[in-house]
Amino acid sequence: MIHFRLSLSWLILPLLASLSFLAIGEPLDGAAQALHLIGYIGADYPATVVDGQVVDVSEYQEQLEFLDVLQGLIVALPAQAGRAELEQGVSNLHQAIIQRQSGDEVASAARALGARLAELYQVSLTPILTPDPQRGAQLYAQHCSVCHGDSGLGDGPAGIGLEPAPANLRDTARMDRLSLYDLYNTLGLGIEGTDMPAFADQLDERQRWDLASYIASFTATAAQGQARFAMSELAGRTPAEIAAAGGDVAAFRAQRAHPLLEQRGPQQLIGYTRATLERSLQAYREGDREQAYDLSVGAYLEGFELVESALDNLDAVQRKTTERALMAYRQALQDGASVGVAAQALEQVKIELDKSATLLVDGAMDDSLSFFASLLILLREGLEAILVLAAILAFLRNTGQQQAVRSVHIGWGLALLAGVATWAVAAYLIDISGAQRELLEGATALFASVVLLWVGVWMHDRRHAAAWQDYIKSSLVGGGGRFGFAVLAFFSVYRELFEVILFYETLWLQAGPAGHGAVLAGAAAALVLLLGLAWVILRGSRKLPLATFFGINAVLLCVLSVVFAGHGVAALQEAGVLGTRPVAFFEFDWLGIHADAWSLAAQGLALTGIALLYGRSLLGERRRLAEQR
């Protein structure tokens, strides 16, 4: 897809005739075109001259022709004091190439010229949202692999016979002289005179950054270094520049292929959310609704969501109000509301963000607040899991299924290990984005909802002694049944564990060293309460008649199925997978009840399923009684 060698016999006239005119009307486009050429002069020239001797005459001649085109683009930029400096820079670059200076010197001069151009004409070299190479991989398979091949070697079936041939994206020496912005820019502008098209009309900005990051992964390897680079460096600098400065080039290559979320403080995150939403509204004004929506989702997931737990510890109502305003703005975009309506929704978001920012500035946490925040985190997130586990264990113990009890313990034990491992991987190895966290939570919640519904109805069907004895005779809880209970235990615990760890990580930092004891005390108190609840359920269940116990257990699991359905849809909405549809209804987060039509519809669907399955059970019971008569 990205053909790096250019045939200037086809390029110069179109560029001079049309792009220079375009640059007059669209100065930033002209600046982007100029940066595009500067980047490729720096990347292409080093291979044309070795020890002062031209080794590729045609390629060397193209470098000189590039400079003529570049000079025209610079002259066409809006006049300002620094433009003369840029013109002189192009002249100096031309002189360096005429003198056949070393490739490193020319590449360095080209990068410096490009940086100055971006600074003078305020061209942003950094993506608004952190690039996602996983999304980029899908885009590469769809748009690029046909020419560049699945592995980026330039050996795709459609590339056979093309002149120039598709670039080898695994050429480390050459890719090291291209920045992530150079790749992004080329994807948008294409290359005249080759079969490399411009994708600006097919891929939005975020998609082009995602794709550029994936392309960079072809020359990246796993890095063990501790160096961490800011997104501005990853996008605007090249691996060759990092190597020349004595930096950790392996870590740089790895991070630009898999960029990490910027580490920002609460006020920076609020500011990021505000700035990204402004860009979203601007894109909406320009008619780019897809880009506007993507930015609105990113503003939440990479900004406000990362301060939610800290804000929740100070004022849960304000956190919910701000989140609701963000979702309302997002929905306005999705509904195709007028620009005025969208702008009004954004103004409300700004008001709530300001209130949240004030709380985060002034909101010091004393010991009592740290204790109760810690207590509520574990109670809120652990209550559902402990109810599921206690209900299942009570059922299995009361019916003598000790092998299945061991399977349940294995299930929740593995969930604890998996939750900690997921957090460790996200903290130290790869960056798990907000969208991925919400998708994981939403998917596991919906899966658990379905399984809980099935188990609840299954228990209800066997609440009578005769039915239970028939079941034992026909299919005593065997390997498949034990595995099912283990899976349910795993997902019931794992669903929230990763998020619980993140909540406590935030609270630990918020409380500070003086409040760490209160945080630990709160968590310990919550754990005691949860274990006490489990003991009460297990102890009390032994005194209940079998039918009563089965009936209560079935109702409890079915209720939890409805709760999980509400939470699952809410998580998918936060990830931007589902839209929102606010309705006039009360909210009760502990029961998964949200004032949203989709969330309530999911819970209504779960209730309908329960009613239908219970109805089927009731009819079956009546038929069984009739046969006994």
Burial class of residue 629, CB neighbours in 10 A (0-12, 13-18, 19+): exposed
Of residues 367 and 530, more confidence is placed in: 530
Which alpha helices (DSSP H) does 144-288 contain, by range?
145-148, 172-175, 180-189, 205-216, 231-236, 239-244, 249-257, 266-285
* 358, 363, 364, 479, 601 from 311: Cα distances, Å: 10, 9, 11, 46, 29
CA 189 to chain centre: 26
**Digit-coded pLDDT (tens) for 379-415:** 877 777 787 788 778 777 777 777 778 888 888 889 8
Tokens of 229: 């680079």
Compute φ and ψ for 54, nearest 5 degrees.
-75, 125
User: pLDDT class for 429, splitting at 50, 70, 90?
Assistant: low
* pLDDT of 594: 86
Per DSSP bridges, beta strands 49-50 and 53-54 are antiparallel
**Digit-coded pLDDT (tens) for 91-114:** 999 898 889 888 888 888 888 888
Amino acid 502 reads L
Is the four-CA dihedral 385, 388, 394, 399 of positive or negative sign?
negative
Q: What is the mean pLDDT of the chain?
A: 79
* pLDDT of 202: 87
Closest residue by Cα to residue 485 from 392, 554, 555, 548 = 392
- CB contact set of 411 (below 8 Å; sequence gap of 6+): 485, 486, 487, 488, 489, 490, 493
Taking the C-alpha atoms of residue 250 and residue 187, their distance in angstroms, rounded to an integer, is 24
Tokens of 272: 């990021």
* 588-619 burial: b if 16+ Cβ within 10 Å, else e: eeeebbbbbebbbebbeebbebbeebbeebee
* pLDDT exceeds cutoff 80 at 605: yes
Taking the C-alpha atoms of residue 296 and residue 535, their distance in angstroms, rounded to an integer, is 46
Task: Please compute the mean of the pLDDT values over residues 121-125 and round it to a whole number.
Answer: 84
Number of other CB atoms surrounding residue 559 within 10 Å: 17
Count of alpha carbons within 13 angstroms of residue 127, beta-carbon side: 35
**What is the DSSP secondary structure assignment for residue 46, as one 8-state letter?**
G
* pLDDT of 2: 44
* pLDDT exceeds cutoff 70 at 196: yes
Tokens of 50: 């070795």
Burial class of residue 25, CB neighbours in 10 A (0-12, 13-18, 19+): exposed
First-to-last alpha carbon distance for the chain, in angstroms, is 77
User: pLDDT class for 169, splitting at 50, 70, 90?
Assistant: very high
* pLDDT of 193: 66
Taking the C-alpha atoms of residue 64 and residue 58, their distance in angstroms, rounded to an integer, is 10
Number of other CB atoms surrounding residue 246 within 10 Å: 7
* 3, 449, 601 from 492: Cα distances, Å: 50, 9, 22
Taking the C-alpha atoms of residue 113 and residue 108, their distance in angstroms, rounded to an integer, is 9
* pLDDT exceeds cutoff 50 at 134: yes
Q: At 407, is the secondary structure helix, strand, or coil?
A: helix
> Do 300 and 574 form a contact (C-beta atoms < 8 A)?
yes
Tokens of 190: 């294409």
* pLDDT of 213: 94
* 10, 16, 69, 107 from 72: Cα distances, Å: 17, 7, 5, 20
* pLDDT of 436: 66
* pLDDT exceeds cutoff 80 at 478: no
Tokens of 377: 């985190």
Residue where the block lists tokens 């740290």: 370
Task: Please compute the mean of the pLDDT values over residues 16-42 and round it to a whole number.
Answer: 61
* pLDDT exceeds cutoff 70 at 506: no
The answer for 464, left when phi > 0, alpha when psi is -120 to 50, beta otherwise, is beta
* pLDDT of 545: 67
Closest residue by Cα to residue 39 from 162, 154, 189 = 189
* pLDDT exceeds cutoff 90 at 10: no
* 356-381 burial: b if 16+ Cβ within 10 Å, else e: bbebbeebebeeebbbebbbbbbbbb
* 179, 235, 240 from 246: Cα distances, Å: 17, 18, 10
* 282-297 burial: b if 16+ Cβ within 10 Å, else e: ebbeeebeebbbbbbb
* pLDDT of 123: 84
Task: Please compute the mean of the pLDDT values over residues 25-39 and round it to a whole number.
Answer: 72
**Digit-coded pLDDT (tens) for 570-599:** 888 877 778 778 888 888 877 788 888 888
> Do 12 and 65 form a contact (C-beta atoms < 8 A)?
yes
Q: At 443, is the secondary structure helix, strand, or coil?
A: helix
